[in-house]
Structure 1
């Protein structure tokens, strides 16, 4: 069985998620971004209310995730909270979920520039998608980040 047959992609707005899907997303995000990265911050925020959730599943279990939200500049679009659950890491699913998010952005928001706040250690990863650094490295919640942009 190849990966295309093994995994199923779902993209839903927050209001379309079931309670169990929302719970699974929030548990995974807190596990990765708060617990694993030892970074206490308000992981669930107001952006979740209008977000598009990009979910890669194996059967009914989420294995990778990203969310698409409006950028803080009010003009651009952004994605973030990109994660792959632990047992599925090293399978290149991070690349799969980012490609799915970018495809969804292109379909839903074709006129918008994509801007992200990337963790600095992932700079080269995002550069492979065409992103370019737009800032120096800065600390966000104690983790080195940089702003990156994908222009049309």
Structure 2
């Protein structure tokens, strides 16, 4: 873990997380995506083992996270499951989380563009980091989304 601002940035594979760290990560994602957004969908989708997991930690507490997909022959690196703890909102942690996620992707997958599947109402937010829409709006688990890419 490296110190970054008032929090630590930790990027690890799933099998490098302790049981407690994994529980905290999954709890945050379920609290945000399933409970807060009232969206019943398969949060445990079988993809976590193939991704890197970026966590922002403050004083030992998980305050934000993102999932970083590795590139495949058919897909660019991708940032997903971007979540900030409800108790830490209003501190611009979403901005920090995206900057750290982009930086991690650029370090691990240099020279690659980065994709995201963004909730449509967050297009402007992701656009502020250089992402541009590459698809029409579509429904994912009942929520409007749009695919976006950040070119190199």
Alignment TM-score, normalising by the size of structure 1: 0.93
Q: Secondary structure at the match of 2:123?
A: helix
Aligned to 1:53: 53
Deviation at 1:68, TM superposition (A): 0.1
Deviation at 1:111, TM superposition (A): 2.9
User: In 2 relative to 1, CA 5–130 (structure 1 residues): closer, same or farther, beyond 3 Å?
Assistant: closer
The number of residues matched between the two structures is 150
Q: Is the 8 A contact 1:67 1:80 kept in 2?
A: yes
- Deviation string 1:81-114 (CA, Å, 9 cap, x unpaired) is 1111011101000010111110010011013221
- Higher mean C-alpha displacement, 107-116 vs 77-86: 107-116
Separation of aligned partners in 1, 2:127 and 2:11: 24
Q: Is the 8 A contact 1:71 1:115 kept in 2?
A: no
- Higher mean C-alpha displacement, 108-117 vs 64-73: 64-73
Aligned to 1:92: 92
Structure 1 residue runs of 5 or longer lacking an equivalent are none
Aligned to 2:28: 28
Separation of aligned partners in 1, 2:22 and 2:99: 22
Separation of aligned partners in 2, 1:72 and 1:39: 28
Two-structure CA RMSD over aligned residues (Å): 1.6
Deviation at 1:15, TM superposition (A): 1.1
Alignment TM-score, normalising by the size of structure 2: 0.93
Separation of aligned partners in 2, 1:119 and 1:5: 28
Aligned to 1:102: 102
Separation of aligned partners in 1, 2:31 and 2:46: 19
Q: Secondary structure at the match of 2:80?
A: strand
Q: Say yes or no: does 1:12 pair with 2:12.
A: yes
Q: Show structure 1 runs of 4+ deviating over 2 A.
A: 70-75
Q: Is the 8 A contact 1:75 1:112 kept in 2?
A: no
Aligned to 2:136: 136
Aligned to 1:70: 70
